[in-house]
Amino acid sequence: MKFCSNCGSDQIVFIIPKGDNNRRFVCNNCDTIFYHNPKIVVGCIPLYQGKILLCRRAIQPRFGFWNLPGGYMENGETVEDGAKRETQEEANVEITLHHLHSVFNLPTVNQVFLHFIATVNKIDLSPTLESSELRLFEFEEIPWNELAFHSNKFALETFLQNKEKKETKVHIGSFWK
């Protein structure tokens, strides 16, 4: 960081501000503290007639791999609204969210994933700007070795656990690279 986005000063220092315990960028001119916090990624496990909808990524990272629909939350939206928006953008489907299913931490890249269970109301399996292919999978057909992210694998594995135990437990996991 070179300039303060509050006052425009170039007097930025990287220090532990008074009353804090982490180093932060601070403007020596106007005392603005700049916090860098984890990004929230929201998405869902979309279910349609007992099958799971997966999207083949048409964007980086992990181009060509299968993914649960999801992406970064936007300012001014709830986690539920973000999950619906991201699912619409990636999978071109209308969904009804039911409940939070999993929280997955990726501390090394400063991300937290929230996956909800959702029912697909209206389906259209045509490609989108973000997904080259959409496909419904029986659980035993899921291409485990072609899943884009650890968060997807965790969400799907714990979904199966809940299904077998007839639970709606929220699962919390982490991955350290």
- The domain that holds 141 is classified in CATH as 3.90.79.10
C-beta of residue 114 within 8 angstroms of C-beta of residue 100: yes
What span, in angstroms and rounded, lies between the C-alpha atoms of 132 and 114?
A: 23
Within this chain, do residues 91 and 7 fall inside the same structural domain, yes or no?
no
Residue 34, pLDDT score: 95
Within this chain, do residues 94 and 50 fall inside the same structural domain, yes or no?
yes
Within this chain, do residues 46 and 112 fall inside the same structural domain, yes or no?
yes
Residue 1, pLDDT score: 85
Q: How distant, in Å, are the alpha carbons of 15, 23, 37, 171 from that of 28?
A: 10, 14, 21, 43
CA nearest neighbour of 13 among 3, 21, 25: 25
Within this chain, do residues 166 and 145 fall inside the same structural domain, yes or no?
yes
| Domain tally, the chain | 2
Residue 176, pLDDT score: 85
Strand partners, 14: 25
Task: Say which CATH number the domain at 22 has.
Answer: 2.20.70.10
Within this chain, do residues 43 and 31 fall inside the same structural domain, yes or no?
no
- Residue 177: pLDDT above 90? no
pLDDT tens for residues 68-123? 999 999 999 999 999 999 999 999 999 999 999 999 999 999 999 999 999 999 99
**pLDDT confidence bin for 126, thresholds 50/70/90:** very high
Within this chain, do residues 12 and 47 fall inside the same structural domain, yes or no?
no
Percent of the chain exceeding pLDDT 90 equals 95
Residue 47, pLDDT score: 98
**Global pTM exceeds 0.85:** yes
The mean per-residue pLDDT over the stretch 115-138 comes to: 96
* Domain containing residue 91: 39-174
Residue 3, pLDDT score: 95
What span, in angstroms and rounded, lies between the C-alpha atoms of 63 and 39?
A: 21
C-beta of residue 16 within 8 angstroms of C-beta of residue 35: no
